[in-house]
Amino acid sequence: MAMLNVVPSRPEPLQSGTRTDASGKPVKNVILLSLPDCEFRLLRPHLEPVDLSHHLILNEAGDRINFAYFLNEGMTSLVVVTRNGQSVEVGLVGREGMVGMPVAVGLRRGSFRAIIQISGAGLRIRSEKLEECLHSTPELRLILSRYVLVHGLQVGQVAACNRLHEIGQRLARWLLMCQDRVDSPLLRLTHEFLAQMLGTGRPSVSLAVSMLEQGGMIENKRGVVRIVNRNQLELASCECYGVIQDFNVGLGLR
């Protein structure tokens, strides 16, 4: 796959803890930390702190998007759900991004269910208020436009991965992407959940988990997966993980 040209260098985002929301809690979201002070001050009064509990649905496919969410902690899955109830994950959002991306390009409905898979916390803003603020925040418009593009590339790569690669490779890729977004080696994940996200059967996932565990890459106990050898896990993954990482680097969003 051809690589994208690297964009000109941009200032490094502020470190977590250098900004706070209206309640005084530290902001950890990468997008919010990347904004110039003047743009963050404009957004800050409209950012409402929210707890994000496990399995909370932020947006349902086809429904009106009332809020955009900037996660500080936790992880959201973007999921396609079929009429017969089957599901497969097509994207992940953590503190690097925003949930409710259609709002950034003037749309109010999305194609995916956005559901919290690892509990955490974040900030939400009403969609109409974000649209209003975007008129006065050119840097935020640019960052969100790039993020929407990266997400589209990610969705395409994940679709190819789900079709072309073995379950063990796909599981390794997914665990790496998950850890990147939660900054922790401990991931609270059941085999049933992994099967739903990877679009496969639970027996296949259990076998793949066992193989990664036997290889010394992960430990799996009572619904908690612990990554113990990330380098080996990267080797066990297909090339899709590296391609997705290159998307982020090439567009200045990593």
Q: Are residues 69 and 136 in the same domain?
A: yes
Question: How many structural domains compose the chain?
Answer: 2
Distance of alpha carbon 237 from alpha carbon 178, whole angstroms: 13
Closest CA to 148 of 207, 193, 204, 97: 97
Residue 5 pLDDT: 37
Strand-pairing partners, residue 69, are 99, 124
Q: Are residues 76 and 118 in the same domain?
A: yes
Helix segments in the chain, DSSP class H: 30-34, 37-43, 127-134, 138-164, 167-182, 191-198, 202-214, 230-236, 240-250
Query: 113: Cβ–Cβ under 8 A, 6 or more apart, which residues?
Result: 57, 59, 60, 61, 78, 79, 80, 81, 87
The domain containing residue 210 runs over which residues? Answer: 166-237
Domain boundary among 161, 180, 209: 161
Determine, yes or no, domain membership for 232: yes
Q: Are residues 120 and 53 in the same domain?
A: yes
Residue 254 pLDDT: 53
pTM: 0.85
CATH code at 172? 1.10.10.10
Residue 190 pLDDT: 83
Residue given tokens 């609270």 in the structure block: 188
Determine, yes or no, domain membership for 251: no
Residues of the chain where predicted confidence (pLDDT) is lower than 70: 1-17, 248-254
CATH code at 99? 2.60.120.10
Residue 8 pLDDT: 37
Query: 9: Cβ–Cβ under 8 A, 6 or more apart, which residues?
Result: 252
Q: Are residues 190 and 212 in the same domain?
A: yes
Coil/strand/helix, residue 166: coil
Q: Are residues 151 and 105 in the same domain?
A: yes
Residue given tokens 């990610």 in the structure block: 154
Domain boundary among 113, 136, 161: 161
Residue 186 pLDDT: 87
Residue 9 pLDDT: 40
Q: Are residues 189 and 106 in the same domain?
A: no
Domain boundary among 161, 176, 200: 161
Determine, yes or no, domain membership for 19: no
Helix axes 167-182, 138-164, angle to 10 degrees: 160
Q: Are residues 94 and 72 in the same domain?
A: yes
**Sheet strand arrangement including 218-221:** 186-188, 224-227, 218-221
Determine, yes or no, domain membership for 22: no
Strand-pairing partners, residue 176, are none
